[in-house]
A and B are shown apart, each in its own frame.
Chain A
Amino acid sequence: MSGMTSPLSGVSVLGGPGCHGRIDRADDPALPPAVLVTVHDDAPPAVVREVCAGAEEQGIPTAILAPVGSGGDALARHAAGESRLEVGVGIGPDGAVVVRHALVAEPVLRLAGDAPAGRVRQAGADAARIVAGLPLRTAAQAEESSSS
């Protein structure tokens, strides 16, 4: 997988065919709009893979952005601010996942570092679903479990 290159950015692909790989500048005009994922250097690769897979299944491209800050929320805030789609995901050193929208003060959703792979994939899918204007699956579940 690491041997593949993206035809768009020419850098090594981390997140699979739906991911434009690691990019240095979010405002690169050659890069199509994408959900940006800011990954801490120590973040578990499996979490990154699941987040990107979740977005890819929804048909929304992702790109990995160099980390600024350390906590998942700060990373997500940076990613959302840089994303032309105004949606970003931060992955902290412990694998905690935060999904943010650039214009919304509070995180849209957050997962602890030990969340099961399925939930992480769903968080990635939900980041994409914000862009697509589709109801969020994680939020709906949280609502159901809190109301029951």
Chain B
Amino acid sequence: MSLVDPPVAALALVIGVDIGNSTTEACIADVGDGEVGRLASSLTRTTGVKGTPDNTTGAVTAVRRALEATGRPAGDLATVLLNEATPVISGLAMETITETIITESTMIGHNPDTPGGDGLGVGMTVSLDDLTTVEEEVPVVVVVGAGADFDDVAHALNTAGERGVDVVAAVLHGDDAVLVVNRLTRRIPVVDEVSAVDRVPLGMLAAVEVAAPGRTIRTLSDSYGLASTFDLDAEQTRQVSPVARALSGNRSAVVVRTPAGDVTDRRIPVGTLTLSGAGRSLDVGVDEGADAIMEAIGRVAPLDDVHGEAGTHVGGMLAKVRDTMTDVTGQPASEIRIRDVLAVDTLVPAVVRGGLAGEVSRENAVALAAMVRTSRSRMQAVADALSDELGCETIIGGVEGEVAVRGALTTPGTSVPIAIIDMGGGSTDAALLDRDGTVSAVHVAGAGELVTKLIDSELGLEDRDAAESVKRHPLAKVESFFHIRHEDGTVQFFSDPLPPHVFAKVVTVTPEGLAAVPVRGPLEEVRRVRREAKRRVFVVNALRALAQVAPQGSLRLLGSVVLLGGSALDFEIPGMVADALAPYGVVCGIGNVHGTEGPRNAVAAGLVDAHAGMVAGPAPEKLQRRAAAS
């Protein structure tokens, strides 16, 4: 390589291996007399929990791949350099803290694709079978069960109308409201696709409202509209106002007036978190939401430990994190402390209890990421296993944060003081190298996995792979068999027709092609959820972590911030973090280790550089010039 000066001393083949939470990276180089000739790098998935003997398999894979790339035999390898990796275990949990319950089947508020007719109809509920026995001039709302044919239904309604029965509306099980309305002699509002239509109470006063296309209902979604419709007094009106609120925004709705019917927004008690730190202990209810939890954490900072209530999701998650760490390190659970928690408010679609048409309401939930770290590393076991496997010496060296900063500092254009943010899967790490050469590092809970989880639950995907795809790739809408519109509005044409299963769908644009996102909502909604999830995890955590390492806690005193790790390769996260840091006058950008490696490989390359005797510190200009010249 051009970086290598003519060899003056014997060169040794050295490989730096960085075992991270999710990836193991290796950087192989010829080292001699303080000169480093980097030959190749490799990347593989970390096996087992970082800092445990299980890592050996992944480390060996990374070493072999790097060797393969150089074409050198394994016997040439003189030294393997390992980072001093300490286990970081993170966990995620989510608690839904509100629920909507409909009692006595008081209302149906949903958006079938194609309701029929429009307007408002108020009358007694009667089944289709009983329609023939209804007295004349009584306003009725006909309730039609499963399996009825649209021609038969229309015929029955028309016949009743001719007999003098005042048919004002209908509620159907099947998806045929338009078909029925098209065959009626008198146009009435019809709501269809009511899956539990058999549970609609009969003989009760009911109102059916369908709005014209592009509009939402006006009367049943308004408290006084309901009062006028059902002739309610002030007290009754106050009682039904939750119904009105629950129905707002729908294109069609049914409200049945039952003696004790109600719609309740209930808060679900989901236990408390016990936070300890700064010599005191604080209880906070998880159902108080993320802001209250984060505020409480701030009051006990620095956090010593967190406990959750047994039998709750959050309590179970915290216990599991502790147990995993016990399994990994052999430390007793009582000695393991949860050092950081990130709480995020989120809205999750949930099926309404007591709903008749599979109604979904957006319920409040709190997502929690927790992280535990231990100083007890078992890297020596990994090092011994690696030596046996590869037949060469293995050296453990370098504190993670320090080595990463050293690697980041080889990014052209950086200078001391320099901070890094390593955005990984389970935790977000920050480190700062100050002018005096001291390095401070911090790990905070919440990273890529939490983003995936938020996307998954907020979009109601229940499909981790689909959520991961939404996180990683830009969106597009398939607008015809031959063109898509990307989320930025640009249009792309395809010569070969796109497959029917993506037609008119919101898709992710992946290197393997278009993948349909299983959502009904518009692209804008998916995009908003994706960006919000990234902002609430990565932007919040970047600021939170940097504030902990920044001189006097002030972001303004940070010179430059280099983004590292897999999420620094994301198409929008680096921009979002840079935007958030811009007001503090911080230069923020994606790491480009040695001017060639991008945000990857900072630690592996840093290990090799350190081994070659290069001094980390305030004068890396020589290194940077070399990098820029290569």
Mark A residues whose CB is within 8 Å of B.
1, 16-18, 53, 56-59, 101, 103-106, 108-109, 129-130, 133-136, 139-140, 142-143
Closest to A101 in B: B481
Within the complex, which residue of A1, A103, A135 is in contact with B482, where a contact is CB–CB below 8 Å? A103
Closest to A105 in B: B497
Is B504 a contact of A53 with CB atoms below 8 Å? no
Is B182 a contact of A129 with CB atoms below 8 Å? no
How many Å from the CB of B518 to the closest CB on chain A?
8
Tell me the complex Cα distance, A130–B502, Å. 12
Those 4 A-B pairs whose CB atoms lie nearest each other, nearest first = A139-B500, A143-B501, A17-B182, A139-B501
Residues of B contacting A57 in the complex (Cβ-Cβ under 8 angstroms): 114, 175-179
Is B503 a contact of A135 with CB atoms below 8 Å? yes
Is A17 a contact of B183 with CB atoms below 8 Å? yes
Interface presence of B534 (CB below 8 A)? no
Closest to B503 in A: A136
The A/B interface has a contact count, at CB < 8 Å, of 61
Residues of B contacting A108 in the complex (Cβ-Cβ under 8 angstroms): 500, 503
Tell me the complex Cα distance, A143–B505, Å. 13
Is B501 a contact of A16 with CB atoms below 8 Å? no
Residues of A contacting B224 in the complex (Cβ-Cβ under 8 angstroms): none
Within the complex, which residue of B479, B482, B501 is in contact with A136, where a contact is CB–CB below 8 Å? B501
Tell me the complex Cα distance, A134–B500, Å. 11
Interface presence of B539 (CB below 8 A)? no
Interface presence of B516 (CB below 8 A)? yes
Interface presence of B538 (CB below 8 A)? no
Tell me the complex Cα distance, A53–B480, Å. 24
Tell me the complex Cα distance, A104–B264, Å. 51
Chain B CB within 10 Å, residue with most, of A130, A135, A136, A142? A135
List residues 527-566 of chain B with CB under 8 A from any CB of chain A: none
Tell me the complex Cα distance, A9–B151, Å. 23
Is B179 a contact of A56 with CB atoms below 8 Å? yes
**Would you mind naming 28 contact pairs between A and B with Cβ atoms under 8 Å apart?**
A16-B179, A16-B182, A16-B183, A17-B182, A18-B179, A18-B182, A53-B150, A56-B179, A57-B175, A57-B176, A57-B177, A58-B114, A59-B114, A103-B482, A103-B497, A104-B481, A108-B503, A129-B504, A130-B503, A133-B504, A134-B113, A134-B504, A135-B503, A135-B505, A136-B504, A139-B499, A143-B501, A143-B516
Is B497 a contact of A142 with CB atoms below 8 Å? no
Tell me the complex Cα distance, A133–B505, Å. 9
Residues of A contacting B114 in the complex (Cβ-Cβ under 8 angstroms): 57-59
Number of residues on chain B facing chain A (CB within 8 A): 23
Interface of B is mostly: loop
Tell me the complex Cα distance, A21–B513, Å. 41
Tell me the complex Cα distance, A133–B182, Å. 23
Tell me the complex Cα distance, A110–B499, Å. 14
Mark B residues whose CB is within 8 Å of A.
113-114, 150-151, 175-179, 182-183, 479-482, 497, 499-501, 503-505, 516
Residues of B contacting A134 in the complex (Cβ-Cβ under 8 angstroms): 113, 504
How many Å from the CB of B409 to the closest CB on chain A?
47
How many Å from the CB of A101 to the closest CB on chain B?
6
Residues of A contacting B175 in the complex (Cβ-Cβ under 8 angstroms): 57
Tell me the complex Cα distance, A1–B150, Å. 13
Tell me the complex Cα distance, A104–B182, Å. 32
Residues of B contacting A140 in the complex (Cβ-Cβ under 8 angstroms): 501, 516
Tell me the complex Cα distance, A108–B497, Å. 10
Is A139 a contact of B503 with CB atoms below 8 Å? yes
Is B501 a contact of A103 with CB atoms below 8 Å? no
Tell me the complex Cα distance, A136–B498, Å. 13
Tell me the complex Cα distance, A62–B55, Å. 64
Closest to B183 in A: A17
Is A142 a contact of B501 with CB atoms below 8 Å? yes
Is B479 a contact of A133 with CB atoms below 8 Å? yes
Tell me the complex Cα distance, A59–B179, Å. 9
Tell me the complex Cα distance, A58–B178, Å. 8
How many Å from the CB of B320 to the closest CB on chain A?
29
Chain A CB within 10 Å, residue with most, of B479, B481, B482, B500? B500
Within the complex, which residue of B178, B480, B504 is in contact with A135, where a contact is CB–CB below 8 Å? B504
Tell me the complex Cα distance, A14–B501, Å. 31
Tell me the complex Cα distance, A143–B482, Å. 20
Tell me the complex Cα distance, A58–B179, Å. 9
Is A56 a contact of B182 with CB atoms below 8 Å? yes
Residues of A contacting B482 in the complex (Cβ-Cβ under 8 angstroms): 103
How many Å from the CB of B89 to the closest CB on chain A?
33
Q: A18-B179, A57-B179, A58-B178 are in contact. List 19 more A-B contacts (CB 8 A).
A: A53-B150, A53-B179, A56-B178, A56-B182, A57-B176, A57-B178, A58-B114, A101-B497, A103-B482, A103-B497, A104-B481, A108-B500, A108-B503, A109-B500, A133-B504, A136-B500, A136-B503, A139-B503, A142-B501
How many Å from the CB of A100 to the closest CB on chain B?
11
Residues of B contacting A53 in the complex (Cβ-Cβ under 8 angstroms): 150, 176, 179
How many Å from the CB of A36 to the closest CB on chain B?
18
Tell me the complex Cα distance, A136–B500, Å. 7
Tell me the complex Cα distance, A93–B175, Å. 27
Closest to A49 in B: B151
Is A59 a contact of B503 with CB atoms below 8 Å? no
Tell me the complex Cα distance, A17–B516, Å. 35
How many Å from the CB of A147 to the closest CB on chain B?
10
Tell me the complex Cα distance, A50–B150, Å. 11
How many Å from the CB of A51 to the closest CB on chain B?
13
Residues of A contacting B505 in the complex (Cβ-Cβ under 8 angstroms): 135
How many Å from the CB of A46 to the closest CB on chain B?
11
Is B501 a contact of A104 with CB atoms below 8 Å? no
Tell me the complex Cα distance, A53–B500, Å. 21
Tell me the complex Cα distance, A101–B479, Å. 14
Closest to B213 in A: A59
How many Å from the CB of B475 to the closest CB on chain A?
15
Residues of A contacting B480 in the complex (Cβ-Cβ under 8 angstroms): 133
Closest to B520 in A: A135
Is A104 a contact of B497 with CB atoms below 8 Å? yes
Tell me the complex Cα distance, A56–B504, Å. 20
How many Å from the CB of B193 to the closest CB on chain A?
11
How many Å from the CB of B238 to the closest CB on chain A?
40
Tell me the complex Cα distance, A130–B501, Å. 12
Tell me the complex Cα distance, A17–B181, Å. 10
Is A103 a contact of B178 with CB atoms below 8 Å? no
How many Å from the CB of A129 to the closest CB on chain B?
7
Closest to A99 in B: B500
Closest to A141 in B: B501
How many Å from the CB of B183 to the closest CB on chain A?
6
Residues of A contacting B113 in the complex (Cβ-Cβ under 8 angstroms): 58, 134
Residues of A contacting B499 in the complex (Cβ-Cβ under 8 angstroms): 139
Tell me the complex Cα distance, A139–B150, Å. 25
Tell me the complex Cα distance, A56–B503, Å. 20
Chain B CB within 10 Å, residue with most, of A18, A58, A140? A140
Residues of A contacting B178 in the complex (Cβ-Cβ under 8 angstroms): 18, 56-59
Tell me the complex Cα distance, A83–B499, Å. 21
How many Å from the CB of B506 to the closest CB on chain A?
9
How many Å from the CB of B523 to the closest CB on chain A?
12
